[in-house]
Structure 1
Amino acid sequence: MSKLTALFNRKKNNVLNVYCTAGYPRLNSTIEVMQALEANGADIIEIGMPYSDPLADGEVIQQSSAVALGNGMTLNILFEQLKDLRQKVSIPVILMGYMNPIMQYGLEKFCAAAAEVGVDALILPDLPMYEFETEYGAVIKKHGLDFIFLVTPETGEERIRKIDSLSTGFIYAVSSSSTTGSNKVIANQEEYFIKLQQMNLKNPVLVGFGIKDKQTFEAACKHTNGAIIGSAYINALQNTLDINGVTKDFLNKILS
């Protein structure tokens, strides 16, 4: 049983997935940030692999990627940083990124390295469903990695059901057709969340984009299994030397 499946078997509601950028705020911050997230209540950690031309990332996460790349972060360095991951972090870990750097690295090599260090799943927003189904999915599954697809308020029911059949781990429900860090009001998306809830999908659903505080977290969780926070946490980490203190304060305000 995968770590994600075990988590959702144990916890059905208010699951908190927190996004952090590898190599941010400093090159060697990655594991320190992950340990702080686990220690202070995160259920899942989503590590962003910095990329110079991201599709879905808003200004805050783009800026954190630029800093991380400037710090010298690469996939080789990330896997080196994660080599003792499972001695330090026990909760599920997801790598989120884009196909270009992965294809340059080599998909098979990438999946093997991710599995070897103990990564549980991948989110690759620019991997089309058809290519996943016909080519890349087999490689990802071979290495025991869950794969998480995204749906939006505009995704039709037939496509959602297809995505549900291909996804493992959970489905990432983008709260609005915008980029991460959007200020669109989560409460206005309730009809969309209810629709997903009523479809009785086989996968749990986590909501992302625009979740930034206790109010938006609770609104996202009302009809789904949990939510994903990214830009707000990246903002909190900016320029800090006290990663654990900042993380504790940030998560306490959401979970208390």
Structure 2
Amino acid sequence: MNTKTALVTGASSGIGEATALKLAELGYTVYGAARRTDRLQDLADRGVRPLAMDVTDDASLQAGVKPLVEETGRIDVLVNNAGYGSYGAIEDVPEEEARRQFDVNVFGAMRLAQLALPHMRSQRSGTIVNITSMGGKIHTPLGGWYHGTKFALEALSDCLRLEVRPFGIDVVVIEPGGIKTEWGAIAAGRLRQTSGTGPYAAQAAAVADSLSSEANARRNSPPSIIADAIAKAVTARKPKTRYATGFGAKPLIAVRKILTDRAFDALIKRATGIHN
């Protein structure tokens, strides 16, 4: 019962998978959550406990947290990693898809925090790790709904940090840059489907090519670099409030602070291949 317990969402691949394995290596009892438990078999073979969870379904969230606490008696780390990038012109993205983007990336994470907090407060300790993105500090064309979720999660994390600190609970934001995962290809596919024709087609083609380009893929960092940052945060006596890491994260966030809006707009347009 003295072993610390961690819950990692979106654990079936990429950052979530790497994080679950890293925390297990550190001695945590780790529950790896995903909608499809068949994709968690490799984690299960390596000591991570698979957990079926749909972050858009409140009953699923409650059904996931309850047995975790019953089995281990505690919850020490919550890593809100589940999320995806829904790219497309703001005008083109259907309302249903825009709402789903917020349901997965924002409301699911905050609902899990609500469910974990009573247990963390009772034990007077805990760490909530919210995976945002450098996209929570910068903007790119045709990513409005996605960036909106990440900006929102940044703000919610700041407020939550203030609220729960008196109970010995830390809230940490991880801001990944370019990471070698399925994210870019999925976002590019959604973008082409949503805005590949019509008035935004030229922009969509340029941005989709940028998201899925082999050159970017080669420069991107491995998911393990994010898992290492999370491990550093949850084991620190006094963790930093933010960890920006992965390809491009620190320089782009720094440049955004320096440049004017229009200057940054011009930089991002050049970087994504938009010429008008």
TM norm structure 1: 0.34
Q: Highest CA radius of gyration, 1 or 2?
A: 2
Higher relative contact order (CA 8 A, sep 6+): 1
- Please state which structure has a larger fraction of its residues in helix: 2
TM-score norm. by structure 2 comes to 0.32
